[in-house]
Amino acid sequence: MKNINPDYRGYRFSPEIISHAVWLYHRFCLSFRDIEDLLAERGVIVSYESIRNWCRNFGSTYGRNIKKHRGRLGDTWYLDEVYIVTVRGERRYLWRAIDQDGDVLDILVQKTKDQQAAFRFFRKLMKGQGRTPRLIVTDKLPSYGAALRKVMPSSLHCNDRFANNRVEVSHEHTRAQERQMRRFKSPGQAQRFLSVHSQVNNLFRIGRHLISAENYRILRNRSFNTWRQVTYVC
């Protein structure tokens, strides 16, 4: 599948500056004002509101392009759901799935964690990956088993104690960003931000402590090249 070409027409700043600002926001735990200062130090004078607009207008396109570029991921899915709170005090559940390598498959913000919510999340996962997994690992929430029997009866299901610790630990960077943002403004904003944030994290999560410095630099450069491809910045 081809990438979606971002439409930079009508913007005063170059695609390089716009894509770099969006990358800073989703790659690091920074606010829009932090990014405004970082760009100002490089001689780029832009308001934080413009950076906010760039992230809103281009973030989703970049995230979808990264997802298309990576294609299918692993065949073992780890699922978990945690609650998030918006500024208005609304509690929502963040449904999240990763594969055996720790890459985020998809996320979905929903009101509940019942069987219907699990069913919607499984359908979204299957549409995004284009297949059913060999194994699904969850906690003991009954909604998972009921929805799996309906949607993915051929997949093995494991809900042993501590089996899904991998996905529970992977929520840490999401929680850090949530604290920095002082909660999400709305469920829709949480869905938009976390969808892009997860894909950017997939692209640049290399595992530096597991490989040599030379190989790390090679893989990091590969990630930067992919970022330039998905943002159409030559």
Strand partners, 85: 91
102 Rama sector, left if φ>0, alpha if ψ -120 to 50, beta otherwise? left
Residue 89's domain comprises 76-185
Q: Is 150 found in the same domain as 50?
A: no
Average pLDDT over residues 218-224: 95
Q: Is 80 found in the same domain as 64?
A: no
156-158, strands of its sheet edge to edge: 104-110, 91-98, 76-85, 135-137, 156-158
- Looking at residue 96, the DSSP 8-state letter turns out to be E
**197 falls within a domain:** no
**195 falls within a domain:** no
The domain that contains 164 carries what CATH number? 3.30.420.10
Q: Is 213 found in the same domain as 171?
A: no
* Least confident interval from 130-139, 143-152, 172-181, 202-211: 172-181
* Least confident interval from 67-76, 85-94, 151-160, 195-204: 85-94
Arithmetic mean of pLDDT over the chain:
91
Render pLDDT for 150-175 as a digit per residue (tens, 0 to 9): 999 999 999 998 898 888 888 787 78
The pLDDT of residue 2 is: 65
What pTM did the predictor assign? 0.90
